[in-house]
Amino acid sequence: MKFGVVTFPGSNCDHDVIDALRNDLGQEVIELWHKDEDLSQFSTEDCIVLPGGFSYGDYLRTGAIARFSPMMRSVIEFAGKGGRVIGVCNGFQILCEAGLLPGALLQNGHQQFVCKNVYLKSENTSASLTKDVAGRALMIPVAHGEGRYYADEATLESLFANNQVLFRYCDEFGNIVEDANPNGAARNIAGICNKQRNVFGLMPHPERATNAVLGNTDGQLIFQSLINNN
């Protein structure tokens, strides 16, 4: 399984993802520039990662300009053929802007940037990204100012009905409670996927939790689930 990691102007987590996948998980990683368009070296068994950061400085709206990068045309086509795509933090925002995932990421409810470890829990045993970690409380860092997931009630109902919710914020014991929600996200949603379960978006940063030197390896479990269920 190959991973392609896209760098946009303003990306600042691209090398975090590259290092985590290449050095901590031993995966083949190909670095991609936002002006590139050729994804012919990737099959639908591979995965494209849109990393976190501040693409194009977030000057218009988070992810709104990056959505029009030449690479995104290819990513949309790749996803349409069944290829796996992961968007982390700003990458999640870009996926929503591109229409690959429903909803939007709004300013945090407390209107402050949040940077800390939080706990996530998945109840989704259908998606490859979560199949092996379902039912566990995972400690994963967040770092965002606009990470509050929002969708109208009909969309939220559809996400739950179609088993598209990947992760929800929880406490260390796995209880999904309001106090564990770091940004006011609707129904504690931290990550979702599309109906086909090949496009994944999440606000927390699993790539920042893949090495024992950092005191946390729970992020490895998320990536490994994707690899194991390829």
Supply the residues annotated as catalytic: 89, 205, 207
CA distance 74 to 102: 19
Residue 47, SS3 per DSSP = strand
Token pair in block for residue 10:
């303003």
Residues facing 50 on adjacent strands: 87
DSSP labels for 147-202?
A: -EEE--HHHHHHHHHTT-EEEEEE-TTS---GGG-SS--GGGEEEEE-TTS-EEEE
Query: What are the C-alpha distances in Å from 28 to residues 2, 44, 49?
Result: 5, 15, 13
Token pair in block for residue 25:
């998980």
Say which residue the tokens 């520039």 belong to: 33
Helix runs in the chain, H state only? 14-19, 70-80, 90-97, 153-161, 218-228
Say which residue the tokens 């099959």 belong to: 43
CA dihedral over 138, 142, 148, 152, signed as positive or negative: negative
Say which residue the tokens 């870009």 belong to: 94
